[in-house]
């Protein structure tokens, strides 16, 4: 395959911008499919999951390959809902160019902002397509202005829409000073026409704006422009392509995917402006034997094998699919490769080219193919597959910590046996999903990014894995401690048990200790005062008492116990007697040492557009937040604060409501702090503890 004629692209948009409709039209006009499926009728190629078709949204990225004229196009259709932003980000990691689809009757929407920032992070060239130009109240100028205001000042129109006799089938090419009309069945034929006389001035205004921008960015172009030299269309396109490939320019096109117009011109623009694999950077990789050693490898079919597994998908019939991008050489069926991340050998049993959820077996995947491997045993998301004689580790991705947690409990023993298997398969698919058992409560915890994300996971548990489960908000992991030192606390245990007496006597100091130390035990009794075999039971049972505290029966931390003295009876003393004496002495001391409830405090970072910053600040002022810092990042405001975990359950919904879905947040555990009296009262009431 000639890599100059390959384009690996993704399509992204906010929900309801008709992005999947755009994908369907690309496949139709490139002859990949022979019927146009309408998403509003519940029939489509790229959104194949039941949950996608029921909700009319894209949940998981779908890949396919098609051809347009002389080039090959690998396409990934990505989710538009903000809950699945991470699914978009991992596609960004392996694609070379993107088509950003916008709603022509709306402002730039939150998901578009989020993905645009992600694309900036990975420096991915983009084409903008303002869709829905047939919709009532469409406004091309407004859409272009909001792209400037919210995304980039370097986005300029290269097309203008024309309405002719209530028919949106004409478009002006600003660069070539030509107009095109779409005719015949499904507007499949593009006919060149003259630019309407009443639109020439407007076309020239947009063209001059574009030329002025180019002259500021390109010195050679500036020289020609200032000296009124003849500048050909080829010169303009060449300069624009260079600017697109260096992320300095984003061409803006327009049309209506639903009405089947102007899609062919988008395909031409993808071929001309977006990069081939040869236009991208060389592969950066790390030597597995020296993690600090970063090297590069050329994007060349003659180089040693390097491939990146970027997505794992569970399949009920073939176990699992591992979506892989091959960067150099080729991946062959029935061969052995090295997983350089886990340092294990893998056998490549089957290779398939994907068309949404359909598969076609192939013998090999060439450099820059994006397809799937079946039955990889030890390969996870972001693992590198390579030649075992030339091991490399490709750059992976890190994801933010999940911000929402719920408890999941199987409804029956039969469900319990299947639930963990299902959860681990889902975890393999989704690197943002965390599954673990809380050691303190014994609850199974699911941690994820957003509410809809959870809804889909629970629905898949039921449909795909036949697991019925209950879900609810998890318990907050409170702690307890003391605020006062108690000196020479004493307890003497003397009791008849069965046929003999039990005797144990201890004296100890109990005091608050340094944060993060949990517990420290000091034995200050001289060795000859008591037999050594009783020392270990005393320390063990003081530790045991830490798990059954006096405020609300939560574990204790940051306490120091010093054993000062003890006495024993040669006949009646036993290990059990000293265990009980130590435990009771410790608890009695803590009851008078100003016991306190500690609540977990989270470090939270909120990213929001400036216009919503004060609304968010007003809201968090009622949630016991402690704002630490406010800074700027690109075109957004950053709020860093500390907040009790109990205030953060379902905050994702609240912040979206406040910011019209344009703000986001991340959080991680910071430390424990003493809870106020009203929180202590609420916790005691919830645990049926009387004041």
**Nearest Cα residue to 374 out of 403, 341, 349:** 349
Strands (E), 316-369: 319-328, 330-332, 336-339, 344-347, 350-355, 358-362, 364-366
**Nearest Cα residue to 143 out of 116, 108, 101, 100:** 108
Q: In this model, does residue 166 exceed pLDDT 60?
A: no
Q: In this model, does residue 163 exceed pLDDT 80?
A: no
Mean pLDDT of 360-376: 91
Greater model confidence, 589 or 273: 273
CA end-to-end distance (rounded Å), the chain: 77
If pLDDT is split at 50, 70 and 90, which confidence band does 538 have? confident
Q: Per residue in 147-158, pLDDT tens?
A: 998 899 999 999
Predicted local distance difference test score (pLDDT) of residue 200: 93
* 680 SS3 class: helix
> DSSP class of residue 578?
H
> DSSP class of residue 4?
G
Predicted local distance difference test score (pLDDT) of residue 249: 95
Q: Per residue in 96-124, pLDDT tens?
A: 999 999 988 877 877 788 789 888 888 99
Predicted local distance difference test score (pLDDT) of residue 459: 85
Q: In this model, does residue 232 exceed pLDDT 70?
A: yes
Mean pLDDT of 293-309: 84
Supply 109's token pair: 């929407």
If pLDDT is split at 50, 70 and 90, which confidence band does 415 have? confident
> DSSP class of residue 477?
-
Q: Per residue in 637-687, pLDDT tens?
A: 889 899 888 888 778 778 878 887 778 777 777 888 889 988 888 888 877
**Nearest Cα residue to 7 out of 119, 103, 83, 99:** 99
**Distance between CA atoms of residues 56 and 53, nearest Å:** 5
Predicted local distance difference test score (pLDDT) of residue 528: 59
Cβ 469 vs Cβ 100: under 8 Å: no
Q: In this model, does residue 128 exceed pLDDT 70?
A: yes
Q: Per residue in 302-339, pLDDT tens?
A: 889 999 999 998 876 777 899 999 999 999 999 999 99
Predicted local distance difference test score (pLDDT) of residue 73: 95
**Distance between CA atoms of residues 143 and 150, nearest Å:** 11
Q: In this model, does residue 582 exceed pLDDT 80?
A: yes
Predicted local distance difference test score (pLDDT) of residue 527: 63
Three-state SS for 486-537 is: EEEEEEEEEEEECCEEEEEEEEEEEEECCCCCCEEEEECCCHHHCCHHHHHH
Cβ 10 vs Cβ 76: under 8 Å: yes
Model pTM score: 0.72
Q: Per residue in 17-28, pLDDT tens?
A: 888 889 988 998
Greater model confidence, 170 or 184: 170
């Amino acid at each position: 395959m000639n890599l100059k004629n390959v384009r690996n692209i993704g399509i992204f948009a906010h929900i309801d911008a008709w992005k999947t409709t755009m994908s369907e039209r690309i496949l139709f006009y490139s002859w990949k499919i022979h019927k146009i499926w309408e998403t509003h009728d519940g029939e489509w190629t790229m959104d194949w999951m039941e949950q996608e078709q029921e909700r009319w949204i894209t949940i998981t990225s779908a890949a396919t390959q098609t051809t347009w004229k002389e080039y090959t196009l690998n396409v990934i259709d990505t989710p538009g809902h903000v809950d699945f932003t991470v699914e978009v980000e991992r596609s960004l990691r392996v694609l070379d160019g993107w088509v950003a689809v916008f709603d022509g009757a709306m402002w730039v929407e939150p998901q578009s902002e989020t993905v645009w920032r992600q694309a900036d992070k990975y420096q991915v060239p983009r084409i903008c397509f303002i869709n829905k130009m047939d919709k009532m109240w469409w406004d091309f100028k407004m859409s272009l202005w909001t792209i400037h205001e919210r995304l980039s000042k370097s986005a300029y129109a290269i097309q203008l829409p024309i309405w002719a006799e209530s028919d949106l089938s004409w478009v002006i090419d600003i660069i070539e000073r030509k107009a095109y009309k779409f005719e015949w069945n499904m507007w499949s034929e593009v006919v060149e026409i003259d630019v309407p006389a009443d639109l020439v001035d407007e076309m020239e205004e947009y063209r001059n704006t574009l030329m002025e921008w180019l002259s500021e960015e390109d010195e050679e172009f500036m020289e020609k422009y200032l000296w009124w030299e003849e500048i050909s269309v080829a010169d303009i396109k060449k300069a624009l392509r260079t600017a697109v490939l260096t992320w300095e320019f984003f061409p803006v096109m327009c049309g209506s995917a639903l009405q089947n117009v102007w899609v062919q011109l988008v395909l031409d623009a993808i071929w001309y402006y977006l990069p081939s694999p040869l236009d991208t950077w060389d592969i950066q990789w790390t030597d597995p034997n020296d993690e600090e050693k970063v090297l590069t490898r050329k994007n060349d079919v003659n180089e040693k094998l390097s491939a990146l597994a970027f997505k794992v998908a569970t399949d009920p019939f073939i176990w699992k699919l591992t979506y892989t991008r091959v960067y150099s050489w080729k991946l062959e069926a029935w061969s052995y490769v090295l997983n350089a991340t886990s340092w294990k050998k893998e056998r490549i049993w089957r290779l398939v080219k994907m068309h949404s959820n359909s598969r076609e077996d192939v013998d090999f995947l060439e450099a820059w193919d994006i397809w799937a491997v079946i039955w990889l045993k030890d390969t996870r998301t972001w693992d590198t597959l390579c030649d075992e004689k030339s091991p490399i580790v490709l750059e992976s991705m890190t994801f933010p910590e999940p911000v929402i947690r719920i408890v999941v409990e199987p409804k029956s023993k039969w469900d319990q046996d299947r639930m963990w298997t299902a959860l681990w398969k889902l975890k393999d698919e989704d690197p943002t999903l965390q599954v673990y058992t809380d050691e303190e409560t014994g609850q199974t915890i699911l941690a994820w990014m957003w509410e809809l994300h959870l809804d889909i996971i629970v629905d898949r548990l039921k449909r795909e894995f036949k697991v019925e489960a209950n879900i609810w908000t998890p318990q907050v992991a409170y702690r307890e401690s003391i605020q006062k030192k108690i000196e020479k606390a004493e307890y003497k245990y003397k009791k008849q048990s069965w046929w003999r007496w039990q005797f144990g006597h201890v004296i100890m100091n109990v005091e608050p200790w340094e944060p993060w130390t949990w517990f420290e035990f000091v034995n200050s009794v001289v060795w000859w005062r008591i037999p050594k075999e009783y020392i270990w039971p005393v320390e063990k049972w003081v530790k045991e008492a830490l798990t059954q505290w006096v405020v609300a029966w939560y574990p204790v931390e940051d306490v120091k116990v010093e054993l000062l003295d003890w006495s024993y009876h040669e006949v009646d003393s036993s290990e059990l007697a000293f265990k009980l004496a130590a435990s009771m002495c410790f608890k009695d001391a803590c009851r008078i040492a100003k016991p306190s409830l500690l609540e977990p405090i989270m470090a939270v970072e909120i990213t929001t557009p400036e216009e919503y910053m004060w609304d968010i600040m007003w809201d968090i002022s009622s949630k016991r937040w402690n704002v630490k810092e406010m800074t700027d990042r690109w075109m957004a405001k950053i709020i860093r604060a500390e907040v009790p975990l109990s205030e953060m359950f379902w905050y994702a919904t609240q912040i979206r409501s406040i910011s019209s879905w344009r703000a986001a947040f991340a959080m991680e555990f910071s430390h424990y702090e003493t809870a106020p009296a009203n929180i202590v009262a609420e916790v005691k009431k919830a645990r049926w503890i009387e004041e």
